[in-house]
Structure 1
């Protein structure tokens, strides 16, 4: 019998008894990722990078900065002034206020009104790693902004005649927030929590080479919108020696917007972490950058869309398996740096899923 995953989105599907990738009776089904929240000490510096990266400021005060894309809806990123840079957590959009109330009742927490600048209601729950997760609904929708139009391509047909291509070296205009990647020391418990509380479903599982029998260590997770397609992943969750933000991704119009926008960032002294390339899980064109506070952010375009019918794929995690094409994954992107040794040492001393076997698997994956 042929494997339906072969040549589709993963090397193979699940084996008997492996994680199904979804909860049978979730509390709610989150509709999308609404925004991400950060604290940073220098809002002016944060905005300078944000504009170069392709955001537009939707709100600017002495203590807060809201960044948006060109698509209508809520801001993509909320930055609050704080003594040090840190990730404060994501906000997921519920279908409506009734889902917010249903989740709050299940978690034993309250529903509150959001600030007038955002509108709507929300509740905050903690995932098993202790990360605050907001679930929100009924916010004000910002109107659409002028968008960057994908270039017309002569791909097998004369679609463009007497009109040379000259994409400007300018910021790629961010359209919307796509996904966030989070590392946890309690991967399985945290995964099950997101599937149960937010109704997310797994698109792809990764496991360490030679350790499949111990279960997955990373999952790319999408929103369950039924027959309406959703991004291959809205959340990616990975096992590691500490609970932390890994990166977030923002959609742009096409490869030219991504590449020309990258040249603009380089011209203005910003640092590329890894790219340009095309991923395997999710298929996105990607380009990763470090902002001035060290946070990893991604431009992406042309990602996969799945409906609720597709079951999870399974594949080994390898550094070379992170992209179909592109330069080798960099040490910066993989997090291979001296400071990480201290984090690993602390992680191994804690009571969590990251043990010596998982450390060996991580090292093998990073070098394969």
Structure 2
């Protein structure tokens, strides 16, 4: 396998991180769902419906959200004292994979409805679970992709184009992005333990010899394609959730759904545009508790044959087109909480963040 110059100008140099493990414990198939806690489930449900989720179940203490495609619920929100991300749940290929993970981690597999689940913790301290046989819903009605006239023989004749001003109906969960001051340790854990593989690495300009500071990881399904990234993670002073992304039908659904959200007073963080790594159309929003969520469409899918691409990290390098990345999206707006996180990360003995790397990261996010 070689870098084919298909998704990045550069591949790995000799001796750089390979982006995959030789003998992982298991190979997960996909993200199953994400777990959050929020104090106000009523408010969470209103936003979820406006964002385009379908509600699959609701109790006084739990809200379960799904997309239109067949599969498990995409999001589980439990009642809690504050709004926070709890952790991701991945889907295993075989039930025996859970037993293998449990032996490896020194824990136990527990029942979950019709299936089984094992609870792990990554090196950053983020809870990670892997499930097999979880309850899954059937296909729901979705938005129909519009027919586009692109020149040559038109597909639409004597008919107008009028996308409905309605929520962009979520089809499925796509990916989650995490930040950690223990980036390389966490990266290797997801490769070694869950069998994920890297699609693209980003490095800080002038510091490539120190290794990557961001990675876009996909599931290794062999010849079967997988999303360009199911998990992305980057080095930073804060630990935990950055954003999660949910696929919608096409650009019109994404844009009209964004107008619908704006009319209801929600705040766009960044968009609309098209990314470089992953190529997807994107539109980022803040929910009422300021957690970031993304509508996306038309993302890349890779099989296991492609080697990682390598590219320098910069704010301008995050998109092929669209408005400049906002300070809100980049997380560069100063606040007392961010300053405390920076000082704590730099003092921590178990950190990969140094003052030089932090300054280079801040410089990259200003370019």
Kept in 2: contact 1:209–1:364 (CA 8 A): no
The Cα offsets for residues 49-87 of structure 1, whole Å up to 9 and x where unpaired, read as: 000000011010000000000011110000000011111
Give, in angstroms, the shift of residue 364 of structure 1: 1.1
Q: Which residue pairs with 1:32 in the alignment?
A: 30
Match of 1:134 in 2: 129
Give the paired residue count: 362
In 1: Cα distance, 2:300 partner to 2:347 partner: 39
State the secondary structure of the residue aligned to 1:246: strand
Give runs of aligned pairs for residues 239-250 of structure 1, distance below 5 A.
239-250=235-246
Tell me how far 1:341 sits from its aligned partner.
2.2
How far off is 1:18 after superposition? 0.1
Post-superposition CA distance 1:244-299 (Å, at most 9, x none):
10000000000000000000000000000000000000000000000001110000
1:350 equivalent among 345, 348, 351:
348
Distance 1:32 1:244 in 2: 20
Given candidates 268, 272, 295, the residue that maps to 1:272 is 268
Q: Deviations over 1:86-125 (max 9, x none)?
A: 11100000012111111111111100011x3xx3110001
1:46 counterpart residue number? 44
Unaligned runs of 5+ in 2: none
Alignment of 1:139-178 (within 5 A): 139-156=134-151, 157-178=153-174
Q: Which residue of 2 aligns with 1:310?
A: 306
2:361 matched to which residue of 1?
Answer: 362
Aligned residue in 1 for 2:91: 93
Please identify, of 88-97 and 338-347, the stretch whose mean Cα deviation from structure 2 is larger: 338-347
SS of the residue 1:172 aligns to: coil
For the 8 Å contact 2:3–2:309, the answer to whether it is kept is no
Distance across 1 between alignment mates of 2:15 and 2:242: 30
Q: Which residue number in structure 2 is paired with residue 58 of structure 1?
A: 56
1:31–1:92 CA contact under 8 A, matched in 2: yes
- Partners of 1:5 and 1:297 in 2: how far apart? 32
Q: Which moved more, 1:95-104 or 1:261-270?
A: 95-104
- Is the Cα contact below 8 Å between 1:5 and 1:11 reproduced in 2? no
